[in-house]
Amino acid sequence: TACAVPKLKLADCQYNLRQMISLAEKAWDQGVEVLLFPELGITGYTCGDLFFQRELQKNAVKALNSLCQWSDGKKMLLVVGLPLAINGSLYNCSALLNDGKILGIVPKTYIPNHQEFYEKRWFASAKSLNQTEIPIGSQAVPIGTDLLFKHVHREEFVVAVEICEDLWVPISPGSFHALAGATVILNPSASNEVVGKSDYRRELIRSQSGRCNAAYLYASAGFGESTSDLVFGGNAMICERGILLKELPKFNLGNELLICDIDVESLNHDRQMQHGFGDSVDLLNNRFYRTITFETSGTNDFDREVNPQPFVPADPNRRSERCEEIFNIQTIGLATRLAHIGNAPMVVGISGGLDSTMALLVCVSVCDRFGIPREKIHAVTMPGFGTTDRTYDNAVALIKGLGASFHEISIVAACTAHFKDIGHPIDLHNVTYENSQARERTQILMDLSNKLGGIVIGTGDLS
């Protein structure tokens, strides 16, 4: 998928068409399957009262037909914006093109008329549209906000469109599209730049992709729009399930293309697992959708960064916050359990490694935060055949330094007798050799816990 932000000239539909074709050719050469252009990209968003000019309206449709002809033989879904006059009203629309055909037209539902926006001066809402088809050239083209575009060969690849302000309302059209089956939501936009707005907009798009369990493509108008009232930075981003995959730097002066792979199979998988999503379908309230099929060729090239550490933030500050959150979750979880069983003694095995150290620190945190003496932590080191001086010394120093009750119980004699009982050579270091030691340590901790009337604090095994 890709978002395109072309430079434009206001009301010069042929110039804008050339920029679109230039970007579309680059996208086609790189195997892009879905290409999104900004809101009203054929004319420009800031044409003002020129939108009422019949000549501009005709030129916009002419450019649309030319772009449609260019797409003939190219199995790529193109989404472009233009004004369309229908029954005496003007609508802010997005047209979806594929392989020489106009598949459908989606009009904007929520028309902003507040603060710096006065779009109702020119455009009517999709709510006032009472037609389901309009003629464009020789085609009868479906029109409405009830359109889903489904890939011929991949049933989980379903595209829907909401336009700019549609996203900013409490329950957006895109939310209903997702409940109806859309896994990829496209938003052609013309969002101006105000100090602080960029961060809010990014979070809005990211959270919408998370709530809808969908991929979300956003492309906003850029260089060439009028600066009489507003400045447009050409923002574009691609999000998936609440994660920002890629974002285009703003304030570019030329044609820009943002390309990123999305995983629609994974989206479909997550929706099946998340029962709350399926339970929300009744919110559609008799909203019926028409489904239009499309086909793409694409490429098998992989264009997406895979984070080898998806749960470890790269930013040091966020990483510290994440670690503190993990620690606090464990602390409160253990404290809650102890409160239920009368603050019983805690028994924890200490090897000198990372996992048991973490478990001991959580125990200490519980004691300190809830006024429990640290002596109620019974920390046990259980040296075995492979215990080194370094890990042993670390374990002893840690236990004594934190003020926990210290226990040392060797497992060597017990495991030697066990190997003799089962006829296992003591010098054969296989899975039996390793697991026997682990089970002996578990038995010691369990039995000591029973003796003390306590609870065993389990540790991880990642280190």
Angle at alpha carbon of residue 60, lines to 163 and 297, rounded to 5°: 65
pLDDT bin (cut points 50, 70, 90) of residue 463 is very low
Q: Is 239 helix (H, G, I), strand (E, B) or coil?
A: strand
Alpha-carbon distance of 374 to 363, in angstroms, equals: 8
Alpha-carbon distance of 19 to 30, in angstroms, equals: 17
Mean pLDDT calculated for residue range 413-426? 96
Tell me the domains of the chain and their CATH numbers: 2-294 (3.60.110.10), 316-456 (3.40.50.620)
Select the more confidently predicted residue: 276 or 79. Answer: 79
User: Is residue 224 within 8 Å of residue 11, measured between CB atoms?
Assistant: no
Task: Give 344-383 pLDDT, tens digit per residue.
Answer: 999 999 998 899 999 999 999 999 999 999 999 999 999 9
Alpha-carbon distance of 143 to 135, in angstroms, equals: 10
Residue with tokens 């003591």: 426
H or E stretch including 21? helix 13-29
The two tokens of residue 268 are: 């479909």
Amino acid at 142: P
Alpha-carbon distance of 434 to 424, in angstroms, equals: 12
pLDDT at 194: 85
Residues 6+ apart with CB under 8 A from 103: 77, 96, 97, 141, 142, 149, 292, 294
End-to-end CA distance of the chain: give it in Å, rounded.
Answer: 40
Q: Is 77 helix (H, G, I), strand (E, B) or coil?
A: strand
Alpha helices, H only, 371-430: 389-402, 412-422
Alpha-carbon distance of 438 to 421, in angstroms, equals: 17
- Is 416's pLDDT higher than 50? yes
Task: Give 317-354 pLDDT, tens digit per residue.
Answer: 999 999 999 999 999 999 999 999 988 999 999 998 89
Task: Give 149-184 pLDDT, tens digit per residue.
Answer: 999 999 999 999 999 999 999 999 999 999 999 999
Mean pLDDT calculated for residue range 413-428? 96
- Is 137's pLDDT higher than 90? no
Alpha-carbon distance of 358 to 363, in angstroms, equals: 9
- Is 426's pLDDT higher than 60? yes
Mean pLDDT calculated for residue range 295-322? 83
Amino acid at 365: S
Alpha-carbon distance of 199 to 185, in angstroms, equals: 20
Closest listed residue to residue 84, CA positions, set 131, 37, 22, 118: 131
User: Is residue 240 within 8 Å of residue 267, measured between CB atoms?
Assistant: yes
Task: Give 12-27 pLDDT, tens digit per residue.
Answer: 999 999 999 999 999 9
Residue with tokens 């981003």: 237
pTM attached to this predicted model: 0.82
Could you tell me what percent of the chain has a pLDDT over 70? 99
Mean pLDDT of the chain: 93
Active site residues: 39, 108, 164
Amino acid at 443: Q
